[in-house]
Structure 1
């Protein structure tokens, strides 16, 4: 099948721009393309989905087993014409400085994907050839199929760089991109601006797709790039599946500009267990959708919309009532912030939140926890029995303040610092944590979450709820 992995020499060299241009060019040709992002990234996948018109997914060789990655990849590509994977950081950057674990290189080897390397050429001359040569020689087992030069000052600049690379390297130059503010995605403290913030309407998406496709057609050797192929042998991942005779479980999922950090495969696994996922907006909806058995709050940027969230009083009360009646709630990072009593934003202002969790939160000006984590359940909880382990990642600019005694269900081990702490806060049928879990790391957690919601037999159905405003989430 046609497919490749777009890697970089480092973070910030323009991988996402190159990937989006390729996706747009493939879509313009009338082909179905599946996009992936390597590593624990929620932001790039949103932009991939916007251009490809298809939910993007995360591959990760640290959080997930080889078998899980292969299965995830196979299931998502069974009905497509082409595959484009965006790597993370630099090609060989991963969990440590002495191995390829968790790197884009490891993903490329695992799935036998051709690699195209992106370099930032903005301030480069002949020395760029030394960089390409170094990447060629660093790992003889990994073949780099081409390079793309980003942020070239002019075509003349590109030609000079191409001549230097051709004279010293075996890797072909497959294209370049000029500096172009039209396709620059704004950044903020957790990375790129989310697609929910960037998208204004369908016309804007079509216009951006047209601009990106035109850039690829003008500056890339598309015929050579799209001729790249991979051969992948997979074995299916055996997971527990929903018994048809069991009743469906309706899970409300918070999805808007404030809450958008979700792994698409988490949704897939919940559906396989019989969950029907109903989207709602904590920013804009006055009430919860009707007939819900559980709520799922992912991460995002609640701090940017704290005032609007706190003023949506009717929805705050709906969530409090749902919790008080025994409804099941699962929350990660930004979702945990929203469920707390109060959020103090970086300007020093306090904003009332839901109040299900008995502590307050405060934004910080630096990362508090960062990196991959392994979670072990210290007691039975909504996601499984004591002793269950699963992997995820932590990445946030806030911390808990004004702590009241709160039960914990997680022992979290941070891979970078080797630190351990008790986490996973529980109140009634609510479980909240800073950790973003990838359910494919242990698919049984999805089964336990759905079964826990089914067992609670609590279905909140307020008289003023409007189910017609709550569309099912589709892939």
Structure 2
């Protein structure tokens, strides 16, 4: 199967642009493309999903063991003609400076993928050859199969760069992309703007432009000869059983930060995933047994979320039944009392948690985490451990009494030698909320525990009705 990993010399060189251009161009040629993103990223995966028409998946060698990464890769690639993995940061950047653990290079080795290296050539001339040569020599065992230059000023500029690279480097040059404002994706405090924020017409036009640029400037035929060496036959997929519970999932412009594998695992545990919009819907879907509210950008839609009084009432009424509600980051903020925006206004939300939140000027507690459950909760019994990550531009403020809240999590941060207690739960423990984005595959029992909590709550509701 055609397959390769798009890597960069660092963050910000244009990996996402090149990845989306290749997905769009291959689809124009009639190919089915399965995208992946290395690391804990929800924004790039959203754009990849839009471009490919297939859910993008995350690969992560810090959160998941090697076998789980291979299984995710093999399962999602079924039915595809080509697989494209977009790496994270620079090719060799990972957990520490002494190894490639947690890096794009480790993912490429694990999945036997050739690497296509993207460089920002916007301010480069002959020195770009030294950069390419350095990557060639840094790890000669890694298969760097080609180079793509991004933000090239002109055809003349490209030929100068090409001459420099050919004079000193062995890696083939697979083309270039010009500076083109029409294909840029705007950024904000957590990264790229989400795919959901632009109109369908705008997204279609941008993807069409990307595909045309790829056909014009990239050697697509050469890229299509690059092959993934992993044996997919060793990984058999298991069909999901009949659904036993219905889990409502908040999905719209305000809430879109989810690991797609979490949904797969919930389905495997017996759940039907039922999307709803806290922004646009006036009521919850019927016959739900649990709610799952992921992260996103509720701060950008705070007024509309707060003004949707019928949905807020429906969320409160659902909680009052004792059925489980699990929320992460932006979903937790939505369940809180209020959010103070950067303009100083305080916006009221559901009020299920006696917490207020405020937007901050910088990222708060960023990085990978390991979580241990201190007591039984919706995700499992005390002592259960799993992994996730934290990245947010908000924090809990202390002007509301939190004495009625339990804290189910002991969180250990990978980038700092510190721990903290978090994982806020209500007194009756049917609501669990945290800033941590959990990858359910880091502990195979999490999804099953949440489904079981939904089944138990439904049974209790029927008994007391």
Class of the TM-score when normalised by the shorter of the 2 chains: over 0.9
1:29-69 C-alpha deviation (Å, 9 max, x unpaired):
11111000000000001101111111100000000000100
Q: What's the secondary structure of 1:367's corresponding residue?
A: strand
Correspondence for 1:391: 387
Larger RCO, structures 1/2 (Cα 8 Å, 6+ apart): 1
State whether residues 6 and 84 of structure 1, in contact with CA within 8 Å, keep that contact through their aligned partners in structure 2: yes
Q: More deviation in 157-166 or 135-144?
A: 135-144
Q: Distance in 1 between matches of 2:15 and 2:257?
A: 20
Deviation at 1:206, TM superposition (A): 3.1
Correspondence for 1:367: 363
Give TM-score, length-normalised by structure 2: 0.95
Matched, 1:114 2:108: no
Matched, 1:73 2:56: no
Deviation at 1:419, TM superposition (A): 1.2
Give TM-score, length-normalised by structure 1: 0.93
Q: Distance in 2 between matches of 1:325 and 1:250?
A: 15
Matches within 5 A, 1:14-413: 14-198=14-198, 200-201=199-200, 203-233=201-231, 235-236=234-235, 244=242, 248-401=244-397, 402-403=399-400, 404-405=402-403, 406-413=405-412
Correspondence for 1:437: 438
**Gaps spanning 5+ residues in structure 1: where?**
462-475
State whether residues 251 and 277 of structure 1, in contact with CA within 8 Å, keep that contact through their aligned partners in structure 2: yes
State whether residues 241 and 267 of structure 2, in contact with CA within 8 Å, keep that contact through their aligned partners in structure 1: no
Q: Distance in 1 between matches of 2:454 and 2:381?
A: 15
**Gaps spanning 5+ residues in structure 2: where?**
none
State whether residues 244 and 272 of structure 2, in contact with CA within 8 Å, keep that contact through their aligned partners in structure 1: yes
Q: Distance in 2 between matches of 1:408 and 1:242?
A: 33
Q: Report the number of matched residues.
A: 456
Q: Distance in 1 between matches of 2:293 and 2:231?
A: 36
Q: Distance in 2 between matches of 1:303 and 1:205?
A: 23
Q: Distance in 1 between matches of 2:187 and 2:74?
A: 32
State whether residues 246 and 289 of structure 2, in contact with CA within 8 Å, keep that contact through their aligned partners in structure 1: yes
Deviation at 1:412, TM superposition (A): 0.5
Deviation at 1:440, TM superposition (A): 1.2
Structure 1 runs (4+) greater than 6 angstroms displaced: 458-461
Q: What's the secondary structure of 1:365's corresponding residue?
A: strand
Q: What's the secondary structure of 2:36's corresponding residue?
A: strand
Distance 1:185 1:228, change over 3 A: same
Q: Distance in 2 between matches of 1:167 and 1:50?
A: 39
Distance 1:177 1:242, change over 3 A: closer
Deviation at 1:205, TM superposition (A): 3.5
State whether residues 292 and 460 of structure 1, in contact with CA within 8 Å, keep that contact through their aligned partners in structure 2: no
Q: Distance in 1 between matches of 2:461 and 2:338?
A: 25
Q: More deviation in 178-187 or 224-233?
A: 224-233
State whether residues 67 and 236 of structure 1, in contact with CA within 8 Å, keep that contact through their aligned partners in structure 2: no
1:2-28 C-alpha deviation (Å, 9 max, x unpaired):
000000001110000000010011101
Deviation at 1:85, TM superposition (A): 0.4
Q: Distance in 1 between matches of 2:222 and 2:140?
A: 22
State whether residues 75 and 236 of structure 2, in contact with CA within 8 Å, keep that contact through their aligned partners in structure 1: no
Q: Distance in 1 between matches of 2:272 and 2:153?
A: 50
State whether residues 290 and 460 of structure 1, in contact with CA within 8 Å, keep that contact through their aligned partners in structure 2: no
Deviation at 1:459, TM superposition (A): 10
Q: Distance in 2 between matches of 1:242 and 1:6?
A: 32
